[in-house]
Amino acid sequence: MSATQAEPVTNTGLAYRSGGYRNYVIISLMLLYTLNFIDRILIGVVAQPIIEEFKLQDWQFGLLSGFGFALMYTVMGIPIARLAERMNRVKIIAASVILWSLMTAMCGIAGSFIALLVFRIGVGIGEAGLTPAANSIISDYFPPRSRARAIAIYTMGITLGGVLANAFGGPITELFSWREAFLALGVPGVIFGVIFLFTVEEPPRGYADPPTATKPRKMGIAETVRELSAKRSFWINMIAAALVAFVGYGVSNFQVAFFQRVHEMSISEVTLQIAVPLGLAASVGAFFTGYLTEKMSGRYPNVVAWLPGVMLIICVPLYWIGFTTDSVPFALTALLFAAVLHYGYLGAQYTICQGVASPQSRATAVALFLFIVNLIGYGCGPLVMGIASDMLMSANLASSQFAAELTSQICKGRPEDLIATLGAAKAGACLTASAEGLRWSMIYIVGIFFIAGGLYIFACKTLQKDLVAKMN
């Protein structure tokens, strides 16, 4: 084999393969990311039936939907990313998709809280393999000027996954049960994983980077950390994204339950009338912000950081309106605008993360980034939301006329069972306390977006200095 054949071409500054094929690759990755979030978000869609069947406290559900999943998701992310620096990334992605899809289907046969927790941990292990490898592949297919839009398309999977999880998960649960929802939405991922394996080509590492960028070479994890330690914007971006994820995952995992408790809607009414429109609005926000960032980057080099920062700050009062009003249409209107603004940060977090890392360290950089973001965001967000909800529920019960008789544990179960056991008056006090506890926990926690937005704006101070290749 010749030297030319042995060493693939890198640092051309050009896009890899044809435009049509690149579109196929990015759409394929977006579809896999969509499946990723269908399986991840589904548990939030069926939150209330699971809480009622197993008589869980909200903090227990927060552990199930958040920390139980996130722990292995974050722990496995870094070693899998290290494999992605050396091994075929397409194979890693395909194996990951198949694993998490099988574990999702297994959730449907769980007979206890512990069994469901174990299967959710399995989902977390599988999903850890997608994003670091996917981000690395995207950077090799697309040159710097096109990455913001490509990553924005990829991250649309987050919101589209939420839409589909709600659109199918809610009606399936109402027609059958939450168990059938896990089975029906888990199995298709196995098929998509196999298709991806045989149709997507592994690109040369560093191919799309400009000639002035650092040539790809192997870097140890210690080297990667040392490289990133000098990039202040990387760490600011990471903290900001972690705070956004903390709020976002906390809210999204209890969103369907919120409308069921506060507005007394059925699960299919919530998913189809509320959750699906909100998911579509979030997709619009993610794509539009990525498109706007690409168009404005020539004139405003730091737009990738300050635009999502401003949008996060503006969305807070809209969320407050949505959570406090007793009018469902008014709540939906406010939350739609809030979702568009909220999810504009998605492309920014990955674009900044990749932009400040050298080609040989990108997968590891993304894994380190996701380790913190998901541990704080996904791991702690739903858990803290659940704890806050339980505490505020207990406070509400303590101020009720049945304070001496009712506790949060006594108040757990299906509404019809509570009425049969406690009587209509006490059951009503339980349901009101549960609803108001969740409502005010969401109102308090969403205020954290003010801090996250400010951090994104602050990252502008060092962003241009930290970038490996300019985005304009």
Q: Which of 284, 333, 335, 343 is nearest to 312 (CA)?
A: 343
**C-alpha 330: how far from chain center:** 26
Domain ranges of the chain: 17-209+221-466
* The model scores a pTM over 0.85: no
pLDDT at 244 (0 to 100) = 96
User: Residue 312: which H helix or E strand, with range?
Assistant: helix 303-324
Question: What is the signed CA dihedral for 449, 455, 460, 465, rounded to 10 degrees?
Answer: -140
Q: How far apart are CA 105 and CA 119, in angstroms?
A: 9
DSSP secondary structure code for residue 216 in this structure: P
How many C-beta atoms surround the C-beta of residue 61 within 10 A? 27
pLDDT at 43 (0 to 100) = 92
Contact status, residue 130 vs residue 363, Cβ threshold 8 Å: no
Alpha-carbon distance values, 53 to 61, 105, 113 (Å)? 12, 19, 10
Q: Which of 368, 369, 387 is nearest to 442 (CA)?
A: 387
For 55-113, how does the pLDDT look when each residue is reduced to its tens digit (9 = 90+)? 899 999 998 888 888 888 878 877 887 788 788 899 999 999 999 999 999 999 988 89
pLDDT at 198 (0 to 100) = 94
DSSP-based helix, strand, coil % in the chain, nearest 5 = 80, 0, 20
Tokens of 34: 């969509």
Which pLDDT tens digits describe the chain residue by residue (472 residues)?
444 444 566 666 666 777 788 889 999 999 999 999 898 889 999 999 999 899 899 999 998 888 888 888 878 877 887 788 788 899 999 999 999 999 999 999 988 899 999 999 999 889 988 988 898 888 888 887 777 788 888 888 877 888 889 999 999 999 999 999 999 988 889 999 999 999 988 888 776 666 665 555 556 678 888 888 888 889 999 999 999 999 999 999 999 999 999 999 999 999 999 999 998 898 888 888 888 887 887 778 888 889 999 999 999 999 999 999 999 999 999 999 999 999 988 878 878 887 888 877 777 787 788 788 888 998 899 999 999 999 999 999 999 899 989 988 899 888 998 999 999 999 999 999 999 999 999 999 999 999 999 999 998 888 888 777 555 5
pLDDT at 453 (0 to 100) = 95
How many C-beta atoms surround the C-beta of residue 377 within 10 A? 24
Q: What is the CATH number of domain 17-209+221-466?
A: 1.20.1250.20
Show the CA angle centred on residue 243, arms to residues 147 and 360, nearest 5°.
35
pLDDT at 429 (0 to 100) = 93
